[in-house]
Structure 1
């Protein structure tokens, strides 16, 4: 068993929206947080977001992701290894905190709470954060319905399919978790003939085979509903709102959660 993040960087260039932010989404981060003169903390090493801010510190737990995905250190930005739930940063040291999908990369309600708490700790008073979220719908997808939607041409790319399957397999308890191995198992059950799927959809086999990074991984994701994420963020911040993140496959499930003005604790 392993943590698939150590191999994930090898597949990075094969990923597309919704798994990676589009230029439109990057512009929305910039607009919502007014990042031009901001000292920014980036949770993860998403290269598309590395252009934002006056200065940036990116923190990721995986040295392989830092070496394989990060846009590179320069005079105004640097990446370092660290735990999002215990950030190596001083209290009130950043004008903004941003991240892409990080609330799904932690695997429980408790972990999401710790992450919100750390963001509240490192943000300067009155400043804001924005995270693009992957939120499952209030009414869960049915896997048979997902299969039918693919065959009808209603799923734009493989990565949108992967997230639909993941959300359909997510638990309905407070943690809203799914084992990444279960995503791959469900996919193989729905589409046992990958070449037939490629022929049916026009998706490349290289794209489809990115699902195999989950093989043998003990990592879990969480896909909470938008209402749940807003409620959890509201426990830590006075100002919480949802901002559409652009137009791309499954964008309606991937808005920005923008929040700020941390509550005193």
Structure 2
């Protein structure tokens, strides 16, 4: 529930942590075909509410089609999709394609205005969604002047303003420089941890999914492998080779350290621990 001094729209933006025991999205026997070619093949999938869920696959594996099925953009030819009454939003690989207004606050207001909300509630949603992405400074900026990372943040804010419970990110870092990519991944992590949003992060880059609790690997339209976290996938290098997925040097190094009993996510600290171990054994 929201505070008594806030309009209704504010309450709907700031959510409590999701209940990881209940599902947010359930796919049962989902199959999708285009022009007699099967793209998704009988996928069964359950995403827990409040979780950070990763989907990895090479280009053409079917992962973007899966995103469209989850968000309702496409309907399956066979099987069913259940979002359990939750609102699902999506950020595209090129967020500029979902920007509809010249000014950031007008773009974020577009959805709530079409929902028929009052001006007071719309302003509350703009403020709350910008606050969630640490983007208050963008409020009156021209959308045409924004960087790729800033556009992605505004796209997220637009989905938050629509009260999305589940956020699907489809290759959201593909057009970003390293700094913008790191900042966006931090924002996505915070939306999950602090705001309780269910994140379904779809990428061909395994190192985009370091925060995911569960990851599925899509290959030829089917789930080829499931893992609790990225390191389980890194260790199965033969499967990654078959699936055309590059884990990246950082994850290979993290996997090596983990095999040596060093699990610190801060690689500088982990490297220091490794150096001490080497010195002690000299």
| TMscore range, shorter length | under 0.3
Query: Which protein has the larger Cα radius of gyration, Structure 1 or Structure 2?
Result: 2
So what's the TM-score if we normalise by structure 1? 0.27
Tell me the TM-score normalized by structure 2.
0.26
